[in-house]
Structures are given as C-alpha cells and as structure tokens.
Amino acid sequence: AQSVSQHNHHVILSEAASLELGCNYSYGGTVNLFWYVQYPGQHLQLLLKYFSGDPLVKGIKGFEAEFIKSKFSFNLRKPSVQWSDTAEYFCAVNANNQGGKLIFGQGTELSVKP
C-alpha cells in the first residue's frame, strides 16, 4: 500500500532561520507530489506541486521542493522563514493511475518564533 511519511512532527524555528521539512513516499510507479499548508483556522492551501519536468519546484511564498526519485523524497525548503509561516504542512502523493486521489503524510507543525 502507498504511504507518505513526514519525518518531523513539530519544528520550532526562529525568524530568518532556514527550513527543510522531509517527506518520503512509498510507491514504485509514477507519482504527482504536493505540499499543502494549513494556517490556523483556515482550509488547506496548495503551496506547490510536481507533475513532471524540473525536479526543483518553486511555489508560493518563497517555498520550494525538490523531487529526488531515487530517494522517493520530496522535501520542502525555505531559506528564511517568517512568523507568518507558522502553520501545519502536509505532503501528499497522487499515484498517476488513481485519478486525483491523494495520500497525505502525518503533517508537520511549524512554529516560528518572532
């Protein structure tokens, strides 16, 4: 069965620190990859997505992620976080042969201290 693993449950950073959130998936076929963010009290919003092409994907708000196929990974990065980045971050995977169905990771709570 497919699964998605996010390594960090809760990350605490100071403003301006660099961020990297890990995401690994288990599925041998072609996948589409996503990072969603959920700000407190709000719905999930798409940060970025990878379908094909350049494995380094740039998203909104200065976030980027790199797809490393050999490692089954899709880590999220941001060079300098802000207090407003405090949120829950979810990695999700869609297998190419399963319509739009997503499998989510457990989520990582990011707390940025001002």
Partner 1 sequence: GAVVSQHPSWVICKSGTSVKIECRSLDFQATTMFWYRQFPKQSLMLMATSNEGSKATYEQGVEKDKFLINHASLTLSTLTVTSAHPEDSSFYICSAWTQGANQPQHFGDGTRLSIL
Identify which range of 15-23, 61-69, 71-79, 104-112 contacts partner 1 by CB under 8 A. 104-112
Binds partner 1 by CB under 8 A, chosen from 17, 44, 64, 72:
44
CA–CA dist 91, 31 (Å, integer): 13
Q: Considering only CA atoms, which of 34, 41, 48, 28 is closest in space to residue 100?
A: 34
Binds partner 1 by CB under 8 A, chosen from 20, 64, 66, 109:
109
Number of Cβ within a 10 Å radius of residue 111: 12
Asked if 74 interacts with partner 1 (CB under 8 A), we say no
Asked if 45 interacts with partner 1 (CB under 8 A), we say yes
